[in-house]
Chain A
């Protein structure tokens, strides 16, 4: 057991480090790296422009940059954001709780709506209701995130509602498929025929079958919600990590991007690992 946990933690650490390096490499070799809008300022002298170009030198050798970054990060120094001129640690400290709140509430609400619709859709014998649920989730999938974000501002609703509406259709689609598949399996038909109640069927026969997949979906939906947070925060003016990520991407802010990637990787790994652990426990219980 201990060996398993240690192996898992080591794997997580390796993936996090690899994620940071891959991210640094992607940014370093993407066009536009080491450029600055200031270059287009006609007031700047040749020396100032030269200094501007030189300031990116330390980031050009990506392995050296990353090794130095890891060394500093080990001592708590996450570097300085080029685009915002502030320590990355203070930026993340200020913004992380905002995004955490937004994503957590958005996810919770999205799951609540999705599962409600998926369950009732799977249970209901009314075609019109199933069609309505499908149409609603399809409609929400088609609305651009920017539009949902703007609607949220226009209607003065909280940002997490927009995230919930972005997460809901994807979670609904998968969970509806899983539930409908489970409900159509022979042992459920048998259970119904033998007079078992709906609640009992759901709790004792359907849920154990779909739970592992739903738990996996839950882990993955964290990534979906983080992805959804980026346009929502950027457009709703929420000062969170998503907004920071977008600004950093447009500015090719390497120190900030590496840190944000590591943060997102940790969040993804923790959520998916947690889902794996729970899924494993559920399977063990079932067997």
Chain B
């Protein structure tokens, strides 16, 4: 009898435990800024992207952990041989959050909207490899073929960013297919997302997903306060944690913090090579010299940058692709090792000489230049100061100038009134085609010398050719070969001096079940539909 009672009690506890673990409750974390838009096609800031990820339903999802593509609203898909088209077989019996049925019409509508030139959708621009219109053909209510005017590299991968809109819903983009729906928005304060009761996904036991009832996103730009609130238990996770806070949290609660290793993001420095820039000609000739740029790269101690600035939560960067991007990274490349002697030797090839502790060029001009970076980013400011010290050993005087972001953008993209700059690149996509506009010499984002009418150097012409080659091919191996060569040229010519790849750091409270932080964004809640919070947190006011 006693054995039966205790067995029954255990069962009850187990069931209650499971139920409470899966009972939902509310997940809380912070947005660093106000979302600028709730229209998923117009997303260009982090906060809006977070909302899109949590509410949007996509045809194909890139699993952030395995980095492989998985079917979502599309059961399967087929790419055309010429790389211009894709045909989707869609799931049946799926409904938008307002009950409107999902069909091929909605996919067609979304794609047409996205590719509308008047909309200027950043999501759509990623597909815009040619100038012609996109053709959508609903072959059946659950089957659609989409054809673009030119081949689109990594076409299937790009659909991970396309949240499907309803063509027929009266509430337009407010009707969503994702696990959550926007329930309440207090501008400047918080955003509440509630469970989408029409969400199509279930777990392996047939339970409807998501497990959570709600997500509260508080708008909090200050990282100190974010960490404080996390420590107090007011927040359940910090999606992107700075290295100094990582160490502070780690000292008191090591099990709450996660270092997933080098992320896809990079920090880099470059010199202004623009012909019409209002800088002295002798400086322009330094910056245009490959030997000069390579020498500067050799003179920078990247190990110190990683260790001192990022508390060892970063790795010396090698090129435009992080080592974490296993497929696309060129394994043949090695980081420039810190070597002052080698740096001086390279400079001497161009006639630079060290005289009384000052480096002078062939005409006797003392080597002095300024580095601009955005103020408020203490890591970039510190990197600039360390680089200042490293280059001082070579007799180079560096002036560090921090500017507010609009002033900085104006200098690097309009007036070109700068000499060197340090900025970072946030890589959301593992496919390097997303960096097309950085590498094409005619592009506005070709930072060191934007909008060249024709490539001004042979190596830039080669990069242009290689980037177009990989963009027009649907063969991953061919693309990889082309982009490997791009990485090789960049390493040789150093238009960007890559400094570090920061690690993907995050913090997750013990109350959150199912989290498995990764390097790809969003690091902590990529599997949001399967996360839960424990019952203790459920009692939180």
A–B contact, 8 Å CB criterion (strictly below): yes
Q: How far is the CB of A36 from chain B (nearest CB, A)?
A: 8
Q: Is B219 an interface residue (CB 8 A)?
A: yes
Beta-carbon contact of A48 and B120 below 8 Å: yes
Please classify the interface of chain A as helix (H, G, I), strand (E, B), loop, or mixed, using the class held by over half of its residues: helix
Q: A32-B410, A252-B406 are in contact. Are A153 and B437 (CB under 8 A)?
A: no
Q: Is A135 an interface residue (CB 8 A)?
A: no
Q: Is B183 an interface residue (CB 8 A)?
A: no
- For B135, what are the chain A residues with a Cβ–Cβ distance below 8 Å? none
Beta-carbon contact of A237 and B225 below 8 Å: yes
- For B187, what are the chain A residues with a Cβ–Cβ distance below 8 Å? 84, 86, 91, 94, 239
- For B438, what are the chain A residues with a Cβ–Cβ distance below 8 Å? 42
Interface residues on A, range: 35 or more
Stretch of A10-18, A167-175, A243-251 on the interface side: A243-251
Beta-carbon contact of A95 and B188 below 8 Å: yes
Stretch of B85-93, B121-129, B235-243, B490-498 on the interface side: B121-129
- For B81, what are the chain A residues with a Cβ–Cβ distance below 8 Å? none
Q: Is B222 an interface residue (CB 8 A)?
A: yes
Beta-carbon contact of B444 and A39 below 8 Å: yes
Q: Is B443 an interface residue (CB 8 A)?
A: yes
Q: How far is the CB of B321 from chain A (nearest CB, A)?
A: 14
Beta-carbon contact of A237 and B122 below 8 Å: no
- For B247, what are the chain A residues with a Cβ–Cβ distance below 8 Å? none
Partner of A35 from the list B123, B128, B225, B410 (CB cut-off 8 Å) is B410
- For B278, what are the chain A residues with a Cβ–Cβ distance below 8 Å? none
Q: Is B221 an interface residue (CB 8 A)?
A: yes
- For A286, what are the chain B residues with a Cβ–Cβ distance below 8 Å? none
Partner of B228 from the list A35, A43, A154, A251 (CB cut-off 8 Å) is A154
- For B405, what are the chain A residues with a Cβ–Cβ distance below 8 Å? 32, 37, 250
Per-residue CB proximity of A233-259 to B under 8 Å, as 1/0?
011110110011001001110000000
CA of A235 to CA of B434 in the docked complex: distance in angstroms?
A: 35
- For B225, what are the chain A residues with a Cβ–Cβ distance below 8 Å? 150, 153, 235-237
- For B100, what are the chain A residues with a Cβ–Cβ distance below 8 Å? none
Q: A32-B409, A84-B36, A85-B36 are in contact. Are A153 and B228 (CB under 8 A)?
A: yes
Beta-carbon contact of B219 and A237 below 8 Å: yes
Q: How far is the CB of A97 from chain B (nearest CB, A)?
A: 12
Q: Is A71 an interface residue (CB 8 A)?
A: no
CA of A244 to CA of B189 in the docked complex: distance in angstroms?
A: 12
Q: Is A67 an interface residue (CB 8 A)?
A: no
Q: Is A44 an interface residue (CB 8 A)?
A: yes
Partner of A31 from the list B220, B224, B407, B445 (CB cut-off 8 Å) is B407
CA of A44 to CA of B406 in the docked complex: distance in angstroms?
A: 18
Q: Is A40 an interface residue (CB 8 A)?
A: yes
- For A51, what are the chain B residues with a Cβ–Cβ distance below 8 Å? 120
Most chain A beta-carbon neighbours within 10 Å: one of B188, B220, B405, B445: B188
- For A236, what are the chain B residues with a Cβ–Cβ distance below 8 Å? 225
Beta-carbon contact of B413 and A44 below 8 Å: no
Beta-carbon contact of A43 and B125 below 8 Å: yes
Per-residue CB proximity of A178-203 to B under 8 Å, as 1/0?
00000000000000000000000000
Q: How far is the CB of A240 from chain B (nearest CB, A)?
A: 8
Q: Is A57 an interface residue (CB 8 A)?
A: no
Chain A 91-142 interface residues, beta-carbon cutoff 8 Å to B: 91, 94-95
- For A150, what are the chain B residues with a Cβ–Cβ distance below 8 Å? 222, 224-225
- For A243, what are the chain B residues with a Cβ–Cβ distance below 8 Å? 188
CA of A153 to CA of B445 in the docked complex: distance in angstroms?
A: 40
Beta-carbon contact of A48 and B125 below 8 Å: yes
Q: Is A2 an interface residue (CB 8 A)?
A: no
Q: How far is the CB of A29 from chain B (nearest CB, A)?
A: 12
Q: In the complex, how many residue pairs between chain A and chain B have their CB atoms under 8 Å apart?
A: 110
Beta-carbon contact of B186 and A239 below 8 Å: yes
- For B106, what are the chain A residues with a Cβ–Cβ distance below 8 Å? none
Considering only CB atoms, which chain B residue lies closest to A251 in the complex?
Answer: B406
Considering only CB atoms, which chain A residue lies closest to B158 in the complex?
Answer: A43
Beta-carbon contact of A40 and B445 below 8 Å: yes
Q: Is A6 an interface residue (CB 8 A)?
A: no
Partner of B409 from the list A37, A44, A240, A244 (CB cut-off 8 Å) is A37
Q: A44-B125, A150-B224 are in contact. Are A31 and B406 (CB under 8 A)?
A: yes
Per-residue CB proximity of B432-460 to A under 8 Å, as 1/0?
00111110000111000000000000000
- For B259, what are the chain A residues with a Cβ–Cβ distance below 8 Å? none
- For A43, what are the chain B residues with a Cβ–Cβ distance below 8 Å? 122-123, 125-126, 434, 437
Q: Is A157 an interface residue (CB 8 A)?
A: no
CA of A84 to CA of B406 in the docked complex: distance in angstroms?
A: 16
Q: Is A45 an interface residue (CB 8 A)?
A: yes
- For B339, what are the chain A residues with a Cβ–Cβ distance below 8 Å? none
Chain B 322-364 interface residues, beta-carbon cutoff 8 Å to A: none
Chain A 204-226 interface residues, beta-carbon cutoff 8 Å to B: none
Considering only CB atoms, which chain A residue lies closest to B436 in the complex?
Answer: A42
Considering only CB atoms, which chain A residue lies closest to B187 in the complex?
Answer: A94
CA of A234 to CA of B404 in the docked complex: distance in angstroms?
A: 16
Q: How far is the CB of B52 from chain A (nearest CB, A)?
A: 14
CA of A247 to CA of B188 in the docked complex: distance in angstroms?
A: 11
Chain A 24-50 interface residues, beta-carbon cutoff 8 Å to B: 31-33, 35-49
Q: A31-B406, A237-B222 are in contact. Are A49 and B444 (CB under 8 A)?
A: yes
Q: Is B414 an interface residue (CB 8 A)?
A: yes
CA of A154 to CA of B231 in the docked complex: distance in angstroms?
A: 11
Q: How far is the CB of B190 from chain A (nearest CB, A)?
A: 9
Per-residue CB proximity of B394-418 to A under 8 Å, as 1/0?
0000000000111111110111000
Partner of B188 from the list A41, A42, A49, A94 (CB cut-off 8 Å) is A94
- 9 shortest interchain CB distances as A-B pairs: A239-B188, A32-B406, A48-B120, A35-B409, A32-B407, A42-B437, A45-B125, A31-B407, A32-B410
Interface residues of A (CB under 8 A from B): 31-33, 35-49, 51-52, 83-86, 91, 94-95, 150, 153-154, 234-237, 239-240, 243-244, 247, 250-252
Interface residues of B (CB under 8 A from A): 34, 36-37, 44-45, 117, 120, 122-123, 125-126, 128, 186-189, 218-222, 224-225, 228, 404-411, 413-415, 423, 425, 434-438, 443-445
List 20 additional contacts besides A48-B120, A52-B120, A250-B404; criterion CB under 8 Å: A31-B411, A31-B415, A32-B404, A33-B406, A38-B122, A41-B445, A42-B434, A43-B122, A44-B437, A45-B437, A48-B122, A94-B187, A150-B225, A234-B221, A237-B218, A237-B219, A237-B221, A239-B187, A239-B188, A244-B188
18 example contacts (A-B, Cβ-Cβ < 8 A) are as follows A31-B415, A32-B409, A32-B410, A35-B410, A38-B44, A39-B444, A40-B423, A41-B44, A41-B122, A42-B445, A43-B125, A44-B437, A84-B36, A86-B187, A94-B187, A153-B225, A234-B221, A243-B188
